[in-house]
Amino acid sequence: MTAPTSVPADPHSPAANPRRRVGRPAAAVLDQNGITAAALQLIGKSGYDGFTMAALARTLNVAPSALYNHVSSKQDVLVLVQDHLTSFVDVSAFETGPWEQAVRDWAWSYRDVFSKHTPLIPVIAVLPVTDAPKTLAMYEAVSAGFSRAGFPQERIIPAIVALESFIFGSAYDVTAPADIFDSGSMAASTPHFTAAVERLAEDSQEKAADVAFSLGLEALLAGLGTLRVA
Amino acid sequence: MTAPTSVPADPHSPAANPRRRVGRPAAAVLDQNGITAAALQLIGKSGYDGFTMAALARTLNVAPSALYNHVSSKQDVLVLVQDHLTSFVDVSAFETGPWEQAVRDWAWSYRDVFSKHTPLIPVIAVLPVTDAPKTLAMYEAVSAGFSRAGFPQERIIPAIVALESFIFGSAYDVTAPADIFDSGSMAASTPHFTAAVERLAEDSQEKAADVAFSLGLEALLAGLGTLRVA
DNA sequence: ACCACTAAATGAATGCCGTTCATTTAGAAT
DNA sequence: ATTCTAAATGAACGGCATTCATTTAGTGGT
């Protein structure tokens, strides 16, 4: 019923092939889906440093300026990529499983997706949901899960935002160098910190970022879980 | 005793004016402190978009290339600014007050400082502490507080990292537009989410970001507090 | 078959960016 | 006075996102 794109129904439209818009020159080498796919592929191969409008155009065999017929800025492309990536975040457990495990699954997959795309985090964190339909769909699935789990309505959004903030910050943490906490020549003047860092390195097969994420997530689950009333 | 800068004592040094280095041309219009102060001022006036090496040089009445005698890159300047800002984060309560209140004070001030400087978050989150002495000093104060509060050594760093991740993510949240969750024309297809957003807007004199930060922080405090043993 | 229309692609140009480098400047040391 | 050198200069470089006048090539109407 509700079409995802807000194109008003055209009474004159023939039973059109949706790939081709009526009454228009066809061909159309470029569209938003193709641009999004190419951008994702380019980012995967060259990283965000190599992700330029010129490089994107080259992978599409097109002049850079051609992109601007379908997208209004580079920021626009990043929004498209962000929204596409969000569809890889796993919300399936909110429909079936218990709340706590659903949040766990969601949070880990959310972090894993965006830890490989940290340059998008400033984009997501400030992006109106209207501009990102797949992201909105994720929020709906998560909200429904929280509602079903007995959260009071007015706490649902703050709880999700708090979890999301933790997830975004933790995504950065995944990309930090292993020796980020090596205090080097300053070790003598920071005894408590240095001792704690050494203790951490001794145990923990696990990666440091995973330990911290698990610890924080379980603490949040416990703390937020007490809000449930049903 | 422990000098913050690792300059080895020079036996030949005269009872020198520390502003002037021995045996060198004096004057020195530029130094790292001056660059840091000018950068901070420029960012305050023009934001991070207006913060360019050319603009920074102009506020210092100097050619852009002159900056590169004192810093090796723009990223370098950002690191200097980041470290300077960290000295504004309040860790005083870790010396005196109870653990829980100390973390609260620290977390709120940490978030407030960097919510005005979110472009630095990708810098901090991945920066080795060796390159940021004031940041290292903050970690020492916080670590000491956690140790004193009875945290097992191997949990101190993960707990701090988890809190920091939440703080960084929340700093972005502060800058989000007020209507970020307005689902607009998609409202009909996202009933749970839309209902939760409306409920949030009804109550809450407080700003949405503050509600979410408070909720998440208190949950983390409760959850992490159970790790204490002493 | 032709024309008028138009979305899409082009390629040149713009302005800004961070950074490099050969050169100059001006104090300090000898 | 001469030598040394850190610091500042100004011109240049390559790369960037974006713009715009122009061209291209299908389409619907006649």
> Does A147 sit within 8 Å of B189, measured CB to CB?
no
Chain A interface disruption, residue of B103, B147, B190, B214, most A CBs within 10 A: B190
Model confidence at A28, in pLDDT bands (50, 70, 90)?
A: low
What residue segments make up the domains of chain B, in order of their start? 32-71, 86-225
Determine the Cα–Cα distance for residues A102 and A36; give it in Å rounded to an integer.
Answer: 29
Determine the Cα–Cα distance for residues B93 and B158; give it in Å rounded to an integer.
Answer: 21
Burial of B23 (0-12, 13-18, 19+ CB in 10 A): exposed
Tens digit of pLDDT for each residue in A101-116? 999 999 999 999 999 9
Of A18-22, A126-130, A144-148, B126-130, the range with the lowest mean pLDDT is A18-22
Determine the Cα–Cα distance for residues A146 and A156; give it in Å rounded to an integer.
Answer: 6
Of A111, A199, A223, A203, nearest to B157 by C-alpha is: A199
Of A75, A46, A68, nearest to A55 by C-alpha is: A46
- Looking at the predicted structure, is the pLDDT value of residue B205 above 80? no
Tens digit of pLDDT for each residue in A188-226? 999 999 999 999 888 777 899 999 999 999 999 999 999
Determine the Cα–Cα distance for residues A185 and A180; give it in Å rounded to an integer.
Answer: 14
> Does B153 sit within 8 Å of A199, measured CB to CB?
yes
Question: Hey, what amino acid is at B122?
Answer: P
Mean pLDDT over the full length of chain A: 89
- Looking at the predicted structure, is the pLDDT value of residue B49 above 60? yes
Determine the Cα–Cα distance for residues B114 and B83; give it in Å rounded to an integer.
Answer: 11
Report DSSP letters for A103-152, one per residue.
Answer: HHHHHHHHHHHHHT-GGGHHHHTT--GGG-HHHHHHHHHHHHHHHHTT--
B102 three-class SS = helix
Average pLDDT over residues B189-209: 91
Determine the Cα–Cα distance for residues A158 and B209; give it in Å rounded to an integer.
Answer: 8
Q: What number does CATH give the domain A12-71?
A: 1.10.10.60
**What is the structure's pLDDT at A1?**
36
Average pLDDT over residues A67-88: 97
Average pLDDT over residues B146-160: 97
Cα Rg of chain A, angstroms: 22
Backbone angles phi, psi at B18, to 5 degrees: -65, -15
Tens digit of pLDDT for each residue in B113-142? 999 999 999 999 999 999 999 999 999 999
> Which nucleotide C1' is nearest B23 CA?
C28
More reliable by pLDDT, B119 or B12: B119
> What protein residues sit with their CB closer than 7 Å to strand D?
A 20, 22-27, 51-55, 64-65, 68, 72-75; B 24-25, 27-30, 61-66, 69-70
- Looking at the predicted structure, is the pLDDT value of residue A12 above 70? no
Q: What number does CATH give the domain B32-71?
A: 1.10.10.60
The runs of H, that is alpha helices, within A8-132 are 32-46, 53-59, 74-86, 93-96, 99-115, 121-124
Q: Which residue is nearest to nucleotide C10 (CA to C1')?
A: A63
- Looking at the predicted structure, is the pLDDT value of residue A9 above 80? no
Domain B86-225 sits in which CATH superfamily? Answer: Tetracycline Repressor, domain 2 (1.10.357.10)
Of A144, A182, A222, which is closest to B130 when you measure between CB atoms?
A182
Backbone angles phi, psi at B180, to 5 degrees: -60, -30
Chain B interface disruption, residue of A136, A198, A207, most B CBs within 10 A: A136
Average pLDDT over residues B32-54: 97
More reliable by pLDDT, A120 or A203: A120
**What is the structure's pLDDT at A27?**
57
- Looking at the predicted structure, is the pLDDT value of residue A124 above 90? yes
**What is the structure's pLDDT at B20?**
39
Domains A12-71 and A86-225 share a fold: no
- Looking at the predicted structure, is the pLDDT value of residue B28 above 70? no
Tens digit of pLDDT for each residue in A30-61? 789 999 999 999 999 999 999 999 999 999 99
- Looking at the predicted structure, is the pLDDT value of residue B61 above 90? yes
Using alpha carbons, list the distances in angstroms from residue A122 to A87, A96, A110, A165, B169: 18, 32, 15, 11, 9
Model confidence at B27, in pLDDT bands (50, 70, 90)?
A: low
Tens digit of pLDDT for each residue in B67-119? 999 999 999 999 999 999 999 999 999 999 999 999 999 999 999 999 999 99
Percent of chain A with pLDDT over 70: 87
Query: Which residues does chain B have within 8 Å of residue A197's beta carbon, measured at their own beta carbons?
Result: 157
More reliable by pLDDT, A33 or B4: A33
- Looking at the predicted structure, is the pLDDT value of residue A18 above 50? no
A184 sits in the region (left: phi over 0; alpha: psi -120 to 50; else beta) called left
How many angstroms separate the CA of residue B141 from the nearest CA in chain A? 8
CA dihedral B118, B120, B122, B125 (to 10 degrees): -110
Model confidence at A15, in pLDDT bands (50, 70, 90)?
A: very low
Mean pLDDT over the full length of chain B: 89
Determine the Cα–Cα distance for residues B113 and B173; give it in Å rounded to an integer.
Answer: 13
Average pLDDT over residues A184-191: 94
